[in-house]
Structure 1
Amino acid sequence: MKAFIAKHIYQYRGTRIRYDSRHLLRRVGISLFIPAFFIAFVLGLWVVRILPTYPFPWHSVTFSANGWDELQRYLQAIQYMRMLYILIGSVIFAVVCLFLCKIVFFERYLFMKQRQMIATFIIDRGLFDMEMVQKEKEKMWDFSLSNQANAHKTVTKERITYFPKIYYEVTKDKLIRIRFPLDGRKYQDTFLTFAKTLEKTLYCDLDKVIDEEGFICYQFIYGISRDRLTIQDLVSKAGKLPLMKRVIWDFDKLPHMLISGGTGAGKSIFILSIIKGLLNGACQKEDMKICDPKNADLADLEGIFPSVYSQKNGILMATRLFKEEMLARSGEMKQMENYRTGNNYRALGLRPQFLIMDELASFIEMLDMRDKSEYISNLKQIVMLGRQAGFFLIVGLQRPDTEYLGGGIRDQFNFRVALGSNSEIGYRMMFGDVDKQFGFKTVKGFGYVDAGKGVISEFYSPYVNPEYDFLAEFESIA
């Protein structure tokens, strides 16, 4: 029934943004200020005595000399200073009420402000049609002695003939959706390229672009930093690991994660956080092979996890074994009684397996031509064939050059995170040629993510308290 109503009768798309929306905050402010002022003023007159205490017989007033004297005495007895104080107090009260309303209903204020900004945005760029209309208007007072024609004057007014049907919607989970019409008008191509400009104008982050019948819908997140999770919030379930409130690594559908970032960008802490999240639900320690050629943070997990490698031969062996186990599982899955074509590892009750590699580029630099060829071949087979069997790669490096991730390997990493400050070339290597204006914020764990939505969004890695002890936490997990 709901689908029938939406298709044939009415479909809610949000609040319509009109030409008058350019003064939305002013109109709302005046509509709140005036009642607050009059309430305060009336209460002030009721509490503070301003008029004279003696009765004045208005019904018997005659404008004689005595009557005028009586009226003058009455006007002189009014407490004008008190009335002035009440007026000033009423204005202050109304202003304070407006300020408190802005604080209490800040989200509504913010959404109204954004609607006003969009209306101003459209009007300033002239993305609407207007014509001049001339009307004859009768003069109210005409003292001329000429013919009747002079009793009329011509008035020229502006009339809007077309203003685009733009809708502004806030969903239940505080996503902002702005719909622009695809009506074939001359402004349509402009509306199709608004995403990057609106991001900066509204201080939002583009989450998704939705194609609808007759509309292009841009979905934004305001204050995306508020979506940041903590290390305690990371729990993997049903092939998914939430990394932010609205950023979820669905490794069953988006296999293999690529993490880039320079020294001090927080790659190692982020990888440790992912390991902690995977252990909370999806995996056990024996399901992970951890490689750290720099013998740094991940190498400290040796003795806690059964498969931790920091030497060249150990890493080569771990990668080869991971590939062989993947191929062996692929064959075993087809022999299971409950196997059906298209079933993946989870449908058969198997756990995912992860090969975690930090500083991949540094490791490849250590290898000779023979070992490098074999190693890259193993990686290629894993990224190509690992999804259905449940074998996944998590790779960290400073920059994903094709020298290290060539042969189509880089394209198979479906979930990508760039932490810290990267160069334009680095972002292009990570995300390709995208219409995104990258910036940098001095927040530990800040970066950008491609989460399979078709757009690049701001990203904040899970917050880890400086006093948090990963080693003690991992040791406590059986």
Structure 2
Amino acid sequence: MFYSKFYNTVKRENKTEKIKFERAYLRQNKHTVEVSFELRGTKSEQKFLQLGPQLETTFSGDLMERQILDGYIIYTIAFQKYLGRISVDRVEMTPKGLRLMETVYWDFRKEPHLLISGGTGGGKSVLLFILILALAKFSNLYICDPKRADLANLERYDVFQGQVYFEVPDIVNCVINAWKIMNQRYDYMRQSPQNKMGLDYSDYGMKPTFIIIDEVGAMTSELEGMRGSRIAAEYFNALQQIAQKGRQAGIFLILSLQKAGVDAVPSNIRDQLMKRITVGVLSGTGYTIAFGEEASQKEFKTIKEIDGHVVRGRGYTGNFGEIIEEFYSPYVPFDQGFDFFEEYAKLPKLELADYDRIVQPEVKKKSKPSEVSDDQTYSREKLAKALGTSPTVVQRATQLLADSGIYFDKDIKGRYSYGDQDKDFLASILAYKRDERVTLSKAIEQFVQLDEDDK
């Protein structure tokens, strides 16, 4: 208190000074210590509000909570956080959420979407395997691995059949289909007789659905060369829609990356990922991107050994913008023969409900041959009719997209000729325009310039 100058001086009648310390209280429990400072509007008050990192160093602990109560700011520091580490078999769903440590839970209904950051060898892949093993027991999973590495191997197991993707077009379709499923779920809930304000997917008996993209930065890099293209625009738009609206419908994202760079995940998506976990050691910038401004109030430590044993899977966790705490990934007993692939092989495949299936449009058979081939093409008028809009709107959309660098084919007479993929793309734009009640130009801007702020 003295060396930090947490005191005031008062002059006595004999002109000597009297030191009057600020009020501070210390209460130690078995695994925590509480340090409280009185807030009285003195010159020390601003320092009291920013003591978290210093107290962590002083007590060699981890800041668990910072709250202002009854005129005091109270810091709770935990000791030996690693004692709260659990084994992989205890990672399960509880009323508090998915248990990850004795005191750490992921309540995805309140903290939608998860961002995992970690360098090579930090334990990120093992943590993903742990999450997949736990979530597959009660939820629908769609697993994407653009690097064709660890997660791509899961396609061989029945429980994940048809739900593992590693080709870029397939990953894009997976994300777009998840967006469509989200909308189908909202339609189902809206039409349900029990529909009322405040309910979410779980109140309608729906299973949660998770879209897992490992090394999402690699996916962004793959699409970098397609910037402005339809496939990139649709992917980022669908990802953003899920990030913003997926919670109530039970559609959640789990994105992992080696480095939480500003270009890996566009900010309008990244800021919607409420739960954050880092494993291994990150740079100062990496922690700031992972946790936001709250990272400036944290003393990030590097611990390589505990009691002579090498530490793996250690990092930090927190909800975006909230207190960050030390984290230890669940312990996996590889030395005792534990094998993730053997455990995956034991899992039963969950049946999809009707609202979780992508409904393909029914093609009616005609008594006479169709005027078009299987690879159907549309004139401007026919496309407008298929989309339920006017030819003028199609022409305007075509012009706006051309201004953005997206062009459509033309026939030998120089007239625009649209294919089925073009029709689906324009249908997505018009659906966004209708749902969000924006102009056509704004809807197109949303699709083709989704990551403009992150260039």
Q: Which one of 223, 226, 233 corresponds to residue 80 of structure 2?
A: 223
**Structure 1, residues 86-137: CA drift from partner, whole Å, max 9, x if none?**
xxxxxxxxxxxxxxxxxxxxxxxxxxxxxxxxxxxx13334235779999xx
Q: Which one of 328, 333, 341 corresponds to residue 460 of structure 1?
A: 328
Which residue does the alignment assign to 1:424?
Answer: 284
2:39 maps to amino acid:
L
Which residue does the alignment assign to 2:191?
Answer: 335
8 A contact 2:99–2:106 mirrored in 1: yes
**Structure 1, residues 345-403: CA drift from partner, whole Å, max 9, x if none?**
11222110000110111122223232222211110011011000000000111123332
8 A contact 1:292–1:298 mirrored in 2: yes
Which residue does the alignment assign to 1:127?
Answer: 6
1:382 corresponds to 2:235: no
Which residue does the alignment assign to 1:260?
Answer: 117
- Cα distance in 2 for residues equivalent to 1:427 and 1:208: 19
Seen in structure 2, the aligned counterparts of structure 1 residues 298 and 211 have a Cα distance that, compared at 3 Å, is same
Which residue does the alignment assign to 2:274?
Answer: 414
- Cα distance in 1 for residues equivalent to 2:96 and 2:149: 29
Q: Which one of 62, 67, 72 corresponds to residue 210 of structure 1?
A: 67
- Cα distance in 1 for residues equivalent to 2:13 and 2:297: 45
Which residue does the alignment assign to 1:317?
Answer: 173
Aligned-residue sequence identity (percent) comes to: 33
Which residue does the alignment assign to 1:362?
Answer: 218
8 A contact 1:249–1:451 mirrored in 2: no
- Cα distance in 1 for residues equivalent to 2:259 and 2:51: 30
Q: How far apart are 1:462 and its partner, in Å? A: 1.0
- 5 Å-filtered alignment, 1:292-307, equals 292-304=145-157, 305-306=160-161, 307=163
8 A contact 1:208–1:453 mirrored in 2: no
8 A contact 2:56–2:299 mirrored in 1: no
- Cα distance in 1 for residues equivalent to 2:312 and 2:36: 34
8 A contact 1:209–1:217 mirrored in 2: yes
- Cα distance in 1 for residues equivalent to 2:109 and 2:17: 56
**Structure 1 residue runs without a partner (length 5+):** 1-121, 136-157
Q: How far apart are 1:270 and its partner, in Å? A: 0.4
- 5 Å-filtered alignment, 1:36-185, equals 122-128=1-7, 162-170=20-28, 174-185=31-42
Seen in structure 2, the aligned counterparts of structure 1 residues 312 and 262 have a Cα distance that, compared at 3 Å, is same
Determine helix, strand or coil for the equivalent of 2:184. Answer: helix
Seen in structure 2, the aligned counterparts of structure 1 residues 179 and 462 have a Cα distance that, compared at 3 Å, is same
Q: How far apart are 1:464 and its partner, in Å? A: 1.1
Seen in structure 2, the aligned counterparts of structure 1 residues 407 and 447 have a Cα distance that, compared at 3 Å, is closer
- Cα distance in 2 for residues equivalent to 1:198 and 1:273: 33
8 A contact 1:262–1:421 mirrored in 2: yes
1:471 corresponds to 2:327: no
**Structure 2 residue runs without a partner (length 5+):** 305-310, 349-455
Seen in structure 2, the aligned counterparts of structure 1 residues 314 and 162 have a Cα distance that, compared at 3 Å, is same
Which residue does the alignment assign to 2:257?
Answer: 397
2:251 maps to amino acid:
F
8 A contact 2:292–2:321 mirrored in 1: no
Name segments (4+ residues, structure 1) moved above 6 Å.
Answer: 130-135, 158-161
- 5 Å-filtered alignment, 1:341-352, equals 341-352=197-208
- Cα distance in 2 for residues equivalent to 1:323 and 1:239: 27
Q: Which one of 317, 322, 338 corresponds to residue 449 of structure 1?
A: 317
1:435 corresponds to 2:291: no
Q: Which one of 37, 41, 44 corresponds to residue 187 of structure 1?
A: 44
Please state which structure has a larger fraction of its residues in helix: 1
2:111 maps to amino acid:
L
Q: How far apart are 1:457 and its partner, in Å? A: 1.7
- Cα distance in 2 for residues equivalent to 1:335 and 1:342: 15
Seen in structure 2, the aligned counterparts of structure 1 residues 392 and 239 have a Cα distance that, compared at 3 Å, is farther
- Cα distance in 2 for residues equivalent to 1:345 and 1:249: 17
- Cα distance in 2 for residues equivalent to 1:334 and 1:344: 11
Q: How far apart are 1:316 and its partner, in Å? A: 1.6
- Cα distance in 2 for residues equivalent to 1:134 and 1:314: 83
- Cα distance in 2 for residues equivalent to 1:239 and 1:186: 41
Seen in structure 2, the aligned counterparts of structure 1 residues 132 and 379 have a Cα distance that, compared at 3 Å, is closer
- 5 Å-filtered alignment, 1:5-20, equals none
- Cα distance in 2 for residues equivalent to 1:170 and 1:328: 53
8 A contact 2:26–2:34 mirrored in 1: yes
Which residue does the alignment assign to 1:58?
Answer: none
Give the greater-gyration-radius structure (CA): 1
8 A contact 2:96–2:105 mirrored in 1: no
Q: Which one of 298, 308, 327 corresponds to residue 164 of structure 2?
A: 308
Q: What is the total number of aligned residue pairs between the two structures?
A: 331
Which residue does the alignment assign to 1:277?
Answer: 134
Seen in structure 2, the aligned counterparts of structure 1 residues 127 and 273 have a Cα distance that, compared at 3 Å, is same
Which structure has the higher relative contact order (CA within 8 Å, separation 6+)? 2
Which residue does the alignment assign to 1:53?
Answer: none
Determine helix, strand or coil for the equivalent of 1:296. Answer: coil
Calculate the aligned-residue CA RMSD, in Å: 2.4
8 A contact 1:417–1:449 mirrored in 2: yes
2:244 maps to amino acid:
M
Q: How far apart are 1:257 and its partner, in Å? A: 0.3
Q: How far apart are 1:453 and its partner, in Å? A: 7.3
